[in-house]
Each structure stands twice: as structure tokens, then as C-alpha cells.
Amino acid sequence: DLGITRPTIYRHFASTEELLAAAAEIALEHWTAVIGEMTNAPGDAADQIVEAVAYLIEHLSDEPLLATLLETDRMRVMSRQMVMPAAISRSRLMLENSRIDWSARGFTDERMDDLVEFLLRMIQSMVIAPSDPPRSPAGLRAYLRLWIGPVMVANTDDVS
């Protein structure tokens, strides 16, 4: 017992959804830090991003709070939280602080936002509705490489 009463909680959070969204945000901060470490190592940028996305897909459901949210009707709160502007900004900042030279790859501010949203939506869909039958670790990485690899190629064309 932490000695926190329900009225105290509801003074800070107007609803259960707000409380769960705040808790999900805290849990997602941990994962952002882990991925930040993974993408800060030397190596091929596409391989790093594929490995980071695969890691999240394989391990997000191990996070107790997120697993609880995924198993309840509150999943919508968590899934929406994953692609909100705050999550996109945090994930973008993490990628910008990696060793990857995004500008050399043709990534403008708008393209970075698009890339991050694409990656988050891919993670979101594969966590919420996993493949059936499940892909092996190597199969997952091959699948991700097929779709993420081309996005990582330098491209200066405008995205509309």
C-alpha cells in the first residue's frame, strides 16, 4: 500500500483514461531510452532501425503495464498514445541523436516526421495484431528489412 487515496489520484487525473495514458507514457519513455542506445552504435542505419523495430515488436508485450493495456478495452488509449505528436517528437529526437546522418540520407524535417510516424504505426500494428502464425526472429527481421530498407535509402524527392 502506497498510502495514495483515490481522491488524490483523481485530483491529478480527471478520468481513468487520463491516468492510464500517463502511465503508458511513462512506460514508453523506458522503451525510447532502450532504442536510443540501440541506434547509437556504429553500423548500417537500416539494420539498426530494423533491429530496433524488431526488438520493440518482440518485447513491448513484456512490459507489465502495456501488456495489461493490450489485454483490455483500454488498448485504444495505449495505441493512440503511440502515434500522438508527443510520441512522434520524442522518437524523432531519439533518432536525430543517433549516429545516423539523416540529412545525408535526404531526410528533411517533414520526412523525419513521416519516417517516425511510419515506424511507430508499423510497431503499433504488429504489437496489437501480431502475425498469425508468428514470424520467427529472422523472419520478422527479413520482413521489416523488406519495408524499412527502401525508406532508409537517400532520397531528396518531395513527399506529398
What's the pLDDT at 154? 55
Indicate the pLDDT class of residue 77, thresholds 50, 70 and 90: low
124: left (phi over 0), alpha (psi -120 to 50) or beta: alpha
Taking the CA atoms of the chain, what radius of gyration do you get in angstroms? 17
Q: What is the pLDDT of residues 118-142, one digit of tens each?
A: 999 999 889 888 899 999 999 999 9
What's the pLDDT at 9? 72
- For the stretch 54-57, contacts whose Cβ atoms lie closer than 8 Å and that sit 24 or more positions apart, written own/partner, are 54/137, 54/140, 54/141, 54/144, 56/31, 56/123, 56/127, 57/123, 57/126, 57/127, 57/130, 57/140
What pTM value is reported for the model?
0.76
